[in-house]
């Protein structure tokens, strides 16, 4: 029996019982970043701690993308999500990519998406946000 391995697409996606994101938080000023940092862009300090990001947020801004690299299904919604003060860039899924169905202030929650499977059966997993039901 082969056990399926789930591999997060980005290091800050944690695939626990409840998938969530983890940011690097500056211990001095509280600014949060997802990428590697040598120093805080807000205050210049160099000490960081891991901080779980809330799994529910609101859409701050969005655009509907109509042109992308070959093989990317179009159109799709790219959004900036406010998760209680932490900004997250992600796609919105399970919603029509039309301004009649997407709006700023819309409540959304994180979800995972299967990106692909390798030859050994390992599944690459990404994240997106979807409307709160």
pLDDT-based confidence at residue 119 (cuts at 50, 70, 90): confident
> Which two structure tokens, joined as six digits, stand for 68?
């992308």
pLDDT-based confidence at residue 2 (cuts at 50, 70, 90): low
How confident is the model over 46-55, as a mean pLDDT?
Answer: 98
Q: How far is CA 100 from the centre of its chain?
A: 23
CB-based contact 131:108 (threshold 8 Å):
yes
CA-based max dimension of the chain: 52
Checking if the pLDDT of 1 tops 60, the result is no
For residue 75, cis peptide bond before it (omega within 30 degrees of 0): yes
pLDDT of 118:
86
CB-based contact 59:89 (threshold 8 Å):
no
Nearest to 53 by CA among 22, 31, 78: 22
The pLDDT tens digits of the residues spanning 75-87 come to 999 999 999 999 9
pTM > 0.85: yes
CB-based contact 110:55 (threshold 8 Å):
yes
CB-based contact 1:10 (threshold 8 Å):
no
């Amino acid at each position: 029996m082969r056990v399926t391995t789930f591999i997060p697409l980005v290091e800050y996606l944690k695939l626990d019982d409840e998938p969530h994101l983890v940011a690097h938080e500056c211990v001095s000023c509280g600014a949060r970043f997802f990428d590697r940092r040598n120093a805080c862009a807000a205050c210049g300090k160099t000490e960081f701690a891991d901080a779980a990001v809330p799994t529910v947020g609101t859409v701050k801004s969005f655009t509907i993308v109509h042109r992308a690299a070959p093989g990317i299904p179009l159109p799709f919604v790219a959004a900036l999500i406010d998760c209680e003060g932490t900004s997250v860039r992600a796609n919105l899924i399970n919603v029509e990519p039309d301004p009649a169905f997407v709006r700023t202030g819309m409540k959304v929650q994180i979800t995972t998406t299967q990106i692909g499977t390798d030859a050994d059966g390992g599944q690459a997993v990404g994240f997106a946000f979807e409307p709160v039901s």
